[in-house]
Structure 1
Amino acid sequence: MTPLLVPTGYGEIAVHLSGRAPREAPGLLLLHANPGDHRDYDAIVPALAADWAIAAADWPGYGASTVSDPELITVDALAEVAVRVAKALARNGFGALTVLGNSAGGYAAVRLAQAEPDLVHGLVLVQSAGFAPRNLATRAYFRFVASALVARRYVVPNARMYLGPLDRGELRAIFERTGAVPGDPVRLAVYRSLWRSFDSPRFDLTADGQLVPGLPVQVVWGRNDPTNPWFANRAAVARALPQATVTVLPTRHEPFAEAPGLFLDSVREFLGACAGMRP
């Protein structure tokens, strides 16, 4: 199916639609990590398509989306893109959305809910960025990874580490797509720019105090993720999202791809409640 193309100041964003007609079913927006694209969610989309109108976006420079200037792509640029996408979906028949965001996509999902509360009635945050401690060590790490000398060599081994064994679920396909990033100057530049932006004070979601009060939220974390471990995030998540249901799974950074059945079992009740809130 031809994706819905959403013009933004950062590029033309491809939003891949599947599942039911949006005027007849609740809407689910999927936001992926850095790097990656909408196909990261391929393992769970077929199971959700019977009940949901699904919109899976590609961030600027990734997947089928274009990018006007890779240097402009920050985590807050992703948040702005998410707002533009949500508004475009509303114009195309979608009601208020449940938003599922992974890693940097989780950060963007929170900012979308803050900016446009009427467009969002539930969040599923999977290994979300923005909750880990911001200190001299983490800031230095972000700048180190974003450097030209390091980034090209870091993309693939880092993905190998946070994905884990590639014989599980759809992880091998994700890893193979990640392997193409170092050879693509545009996508590598986007990757580096996003890592640089992690050093911004804005990246710290906990600085806002309690986030999205009253909004239903489920936090899903893979306890075996070595890159964004649960122990470094759980206190901040509890403070910022006291209303959240928290589920910790025996997986790594992308549980929906590593163990799709287990992931769906863990979010089914929450998604069902969100679906029932469709205006």
Structure 2
Amino acid sequence: MRSTAVDGFELCYDRVGQGPGVVLLHGWPGDRIDYRDVVPLLADSAEVVVPDLRGFGDSDKHDADPAQQYSAAAQARSVAGLIEELGLRRPVVAGYDVGSRVAQALAAARPELVGALVLAPPLPGVGQRILGAHAQREFWYQAFHQLPLAEQLIDGEPQAVRDYLTHFWTHWSGPQYELDPAHLDHLVAVYGPPGAFTASIAWYRAGAGTVARSMAEVAPQRRQRVSVPTTVLWPEHDPLFPRTWSDRLGEFFSDTDIRFIDGVGHFLPMESPRLFAAAVTAARDRRSVAR
């Protein structure tokens, strides 16, 4: 299915199940298929909507100013439009990686549309720690994505796409996770065509990545913190986001429940779909009780 265009971008999305609304937002390098094992766990008791974000998967990819059309705020406008178009009543919005940032931007800009958040990193509070030696070894790709060389070497080259994405899916995941070859084939199919990889890194060129965000980060005033009830799932083996970086969440959210998840890495919805689904269900149930 495809949404009505927002800013000229239509989103491709899946919609299954009946009940209270749930919106699941994917990461980079992924697409809506990231949630293939989570959706069946939710669809018996919820209406689950899983979009490809702007520039990803089967959603629109336009040659547009990244800062205007691919930023967290721009992505959030599309998700807000989809929620309103489908008539979802304050759904739980869950996301990791890029999807986490978009969910946070949506809750900050349009809190009336969101019943609860379920988030895995990235999250605010990193600050100047992004300049540390370990962080710089891990976040090199965000600077690389700013260079024309990134698209020259990778865009439209399926084997280069396969090698590049394999690095992230193996390095960022936990010690027990093995990338499904069929999933990798799917990612190569959606990131490999000319223009697809370049569209996916427009997110970073918009200044939406952790390095750019952390360098410019300022804790908001108390009344400007995200007020939507937020569950934070922080993996043990995410090399990008050590658990020590969770210490400042209270400066950015007014209602958080943080849970440290052992044994898994960055790709939480794939590595532990049952745990992720359970957190979404619990957030949905708490929201229903509160209402």
TM-score by length of 1: 0.81
C-alpha deviation, 1:207, in angstroms: 3.5
Partner of 2:165: 155
2:219 is the alignment partner of 1:221: no
Distance 1:112 1:69, change over 3 A: same
SS in 2 for 1:208: coil
Amino acid at match of 1:259: S
Distance 1:182 1:47 in 2: 27
Distance 1:275 1:15, change over 3 A: farther
SS in 2 for 1:226: coil
SS in 2 for 1:29: strand
Distance 1:85 1:191, change over 3 A: closer
TM-score by length of 2: 0.78
Match for residue 13 of structure 2 among 3, 12, 15: 15
SS in 2 for 1:6: coil
C-alpha deviation, 1:259, in angstroms: 1.7
Partner of 1:234: 246
Task: Tell me which protein shows more strand as a share of its residues.
Answer: 1
C-alpha deviation, 1:15, in angstroms: 2.3
Deviations 1:192-227 (A, max 9, x none): 322232254588565435564542110011111112
C-alpha deviation, 1:243, in angstroms: 2.2
Distance 1:80 1:12, change over 3 A: same
2:240 is the alignment partner of 1:246: no
Amino acid at match of 2:96: N
Distance 2:11 2:190 in 1: 19
Distance 2:185 2:242 in 1: 24
Name the count of aligned residue pairs. 270
Identical counterparts, % of pairs: 24
2:199 is the alignment partner of 1:187: no
C-alpha contact (below 8 Å) 2:96/2:119 kept by paired residues: yes
Q: Looking at both structures, which has the greater relative contact order when contacts are Cα pairs under 8 Å and sequence separation is at least 6?
A: 2
Amino acid at match of 2:233: V
Distance 1:123 1:244 in 2: 9
Amino acid at match of 2:66: L
Distance 1:27 1:94 in 2: 6
List alignment gaps of at least 5 residues for structure 1. none
C-alpha deviation, 1:77, in angstroms: 2.8
Partner of 1:111: 105
SS in 1 for 2:248: helix
Amino acid at match of 1:50: D
C-alpha deviation, 1:117, in angstroms: 1.3
Distance 1:223 1:54 in 2: 27
Aligned-residue Cα RMSD (Å) equals: 3.1
Alignment of 1:204-219 (within 5 A): 207-210=219-222, 212-219=225-232
Distance 2:97 2:202 in 1: 15
SS in 2 for 1:185: coil
Amino acid at match of 2:258: V
Deviations 1:22-77 (A, max 9, x none): xxx21111111122111101111011011111111101221210111165277963
C-alpha contact (below 8 Å) 2:61/2:196 kept by paired residues: no
Structure 1 residues 26-35 or 136-145, which shifts more?
A: 136-145
Distance 1:136 1:104 in 2: 20
Partner of 2:31: 37
